[in-house]
């Protein structure tokens, strides 16, 4: 007689898992709900004006990597876009509608990895397995990137600051209207944020490690860092972000970097740089086609893309700070204010908490300063510096953690003490209630969360008159 599974034992295992890791259960619920709403709302997002040539480039790049046929990069013909897929958009015709586009000027300047991931998603879920129409299959890639960023943000925050802070940080990032909207169509910046978050935390872990990193670890980290550079050069700013952390570690009495020795540290930096260059060029054949001219031209274009000579008509040193303040949910801003005393306490504590707190503060500050320099190219709101959102979410999680630690002092005065698990649920759902008005408002203006401006700054109507 076959033994059937005992349902009581399954319930017991689930109960034990909930008692042992309640924050993990809440985080899994956040991810499942976020993914469900993202997939349901996929049909509401169409192609943006500059998206067709990026997707066309991704399709050609995917064909090239499969066939190694350089004629795939002949953008004057439309011989590769005729997929037998449901509702396939005519990308070649859409590209030809714009006389001035990147494919006509310099296709080797298009960042390849986001376009390649979108083409791969389209090939899997629209061509090979016809589950989604053409545009939705392309947009599934940034949805996956958005979910992975939430997971990475939660994973590293849990290791550094605790489960509750990580759970609240994931909640803040998941319910950010701008993040939810951009995760449907913004291929470059969503994947850039994912690699920025992973690489930043991974490099911080190497500094905090008890032993020197191996050559293999440095090579793998550099390779993934290079994949991020193939999305956008924003990851170059990880250097200024980590600089205060490195200086603080060198000044500490128990410095890990000094124990490595300067020769070993220099070797690790060289391996990181070399492997990141290899990782960047791995999926960028057009950059090597006319070597080194195309590579030099790309290096020159980085400054031109990120800087406008003479500045913009609305140039202001405070504009980036205003844009961040105006595009965040008010409850998240309150939580970030509460994070100030928490970070101050951490900066005065032991090394394992001081350096992570300094890293998150530097991450947030450097990103704001980068787009506040005179002549900095800042347009489309916060689209080009989405990597600030995970840092803001972590600061919000630290702020909520501090508030509830302060409120826990009154817990012992209760006639009937509350269990830690019930206290956790109360704290989590209070945060959820604080974000609920923003979520409802964002759903009302769906799918236009990309232009979300909070009520504190006057809302969308005020922004429409000034931008």
User: pLDDT tens across 369-378, in order?
Assistant: 888 776 666 5
DSSP letter string, 186-229: -HHHHHHHHHHHHHHHHHHHHHH-SSPPPHHHHHHHHHHHHHHH
pLDDT confidence tier of residue 183, bands split at 50, 70 and 90: very high
Strand partners, 307: 376
Say if 96 falls within a structural domain: no
Say if 336 falls within a structural domain: yes
- What does pTM read for this prediction? 0.91
Q: Which long-range contacts (CB under 8 A, 24 or more apart) does 96-103 make?
A: 98/49, 98/53, 101/50, 101/53, 102/50, 102/53, 102/54, 102/57, 103/53, 103/56, 103/57, 103/75
pLDDT confidence tier of residue 312, bands split at 50, 70 and 90: very low
pLDDT in tens, 50-73: 888 899 999 999 989 988 888 888
Is the pLDDT assigned to residue 410 strictly greater than 80?
Answer: no
User: What is the structure's pLDDT at 16?
Assistant: 64
What whole-number distance in Å separates Cα of residue 220 and Cα of residue 214? 10
User: What is the structure's pLDDT at 310?
Assistant: 40
Is the pLDDT assigned to residue 172 strictly greater than 80?
Answer: yes
Say if 358 falls within a structural domain: yes
User: What is the structure's pLDDT at 77?
Assistant: 78
Say if 16 falls within a structural domain: no
Decide if 226 contacts 276 (C-beta within 8 A): yes
User: What is the structure's pLDDT at 79?
Assistant: 65
Say if 62 falls within a structural domain: no
pLDDT confidence tier of residue 102, bands split at 50, 70 and 90: confident
User: What is the structure's pLDDT at 103?
Assistant: 81
419: DSSP letter:
P
Is the pLDDT assigned to residue 314 strictly greater than 50?
Answer: no
pLDDT in tens, 228-285: 999 999 999 999 999 999 998 888 877 888 888 888 889 999 999 999 999 999 999 9
Say if 450 falls within a structural domain: yes
Angle between helices 22-40 and 134-161 (to 10 degrees): 160
**Most confident segment among 166-180, 280-294, 340-354:** 166-180
pLDDT confidence tier of residue 83, bands split at 50, 70 and 90: low
Decide if 216 contacts 223 (C-beta within 8 A): no
Dihedral, 94, 97, 102, 105 alpha carbons, nearest 10:
140
Residues 152-161 have a mean pLDDT of 95
pLDDT in tens, 6-41: 555 655 665 665 556 778 888 999 999 999 999 999
Dihedral, 390, 40, 451, 373 alpha carbons, nearest 10:
30
Give residue 269's domain range. 21-43+142-464
Split into its structural domains, the chain has a count of 1
pLDDT confidence tier of residue 303, bands split at 50, 70 and 90: confident
Say if 56 falls within a structural domain: no
Burial 220-235 (b: 16+ CB within 10 A, else e): ebbbbbbbbbbbbbbb
Strand partners, 376: 307
Say if 360 falls within a structural domain: yes
Q: Which residues have CB under 8 Å from 372's CB, separation 6+?
A: 317, 318, 319, 320, 321
User: What is the structure's pLDDT at 411?
Assistant: 55
What whole-number distance in Å separates Cα of residue 395 and Cα of residue 399? 6
* Poorest-pLDDT segment among 207-216, 228-237, 388-397, 458-467: 458-467
What whole-number distance in Å separates Cα of residue 74 and Cα of residue 182? 30
């Amino acid at each position: 007689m076959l033994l059937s599974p005992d349902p009581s034992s399954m319930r017991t295992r689930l109960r034990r898992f909930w008692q042992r890791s309640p924050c993990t259960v809440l985080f899994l619920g956040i991810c499942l709900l976020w993914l469900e709403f993202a997939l349901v709302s996929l049909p509401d997002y169409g192609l943006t004006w500059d998206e067709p040539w990026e997707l066309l480039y991704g399709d050609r790049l995917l064909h090239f990597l499969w066939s190694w046929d350089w004629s795939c990069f002949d953008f004057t013909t439309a011989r590769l876009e005729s997929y037998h897929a449901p509702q396939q958009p005519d990308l070649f015709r859409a590209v030809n509608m714009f006389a001035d586009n990147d494919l006509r000027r310099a296709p080797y300047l298009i960042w390849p990895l986001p376009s390649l991931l979108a083409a791969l998603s389209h090939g899997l879920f629209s061509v090979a397995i016809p589950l989604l129409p053409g545009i939705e299959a392309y947009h599934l890639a940034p949805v996956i990137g958005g979910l992975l960023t939430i997971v990475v943000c939660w994973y590293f925050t849990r290791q550094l600051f605790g489960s509750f802070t990580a759970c609240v940080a994931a909640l803040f990032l998941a319910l950010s209207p701008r993040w939810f909207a951009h995760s449907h169509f913004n291929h470059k910046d969503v994947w850039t944020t994912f690699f920025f978050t992973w690489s930043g935390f991974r490099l911080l872990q190497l500094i905090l490690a008890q032993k020197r990193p191996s050559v293999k670890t440095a090579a793998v980290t550099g390779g993934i860092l290079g994949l991020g550079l193939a999305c956008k050069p924003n990851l170059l700013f990880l250097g200024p972000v980590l600089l205060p952390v490195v200086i603080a570690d060198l000044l500490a009495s128990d410095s890990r970097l000094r124990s490595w020795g300067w020769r070993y540290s220099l070797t690790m930096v060289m391996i990181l740089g070399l492997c990141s260059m290899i990782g960047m060029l791995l999926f960028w054949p057009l950059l090597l086609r006319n070597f080194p001219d195309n590579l030099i031209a790309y290096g020159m274009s980085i400054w031109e893309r990120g800087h406008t000579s003479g500045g913009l008509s609305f140039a202001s040193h405070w504009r980036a700070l205003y844009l961040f303040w105006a595009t965040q949910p008010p409850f998240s801003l309150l939580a970030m204010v509460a994070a100030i005393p928490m970070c101050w306490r951490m900066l005065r504590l032991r090394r394992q908490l001081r350096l992570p707190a300094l890293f998150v503060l530097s991450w947030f500050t450097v990103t704001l300063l980068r787009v506040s320099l005179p002549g900095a190219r800042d347009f489309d709101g916060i689209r080009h510096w989405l990597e600030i959102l995970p840092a803001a979410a972590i600061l919000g999680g630290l702020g909520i953690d501090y508030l509830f630690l302060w409120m826990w002092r009154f817990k012992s005065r209760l006639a009937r003490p509350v269990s830690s698990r019930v206290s956790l649920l109360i704290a989590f759902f209070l945060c959820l209630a604080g974000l609920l008005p923003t979520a409802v408002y964002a759903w009302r203006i769906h799918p236009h969360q990309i232009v979300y401006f909070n009520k504190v700054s006057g809302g969308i109507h005020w922004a429409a008159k000034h931008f």
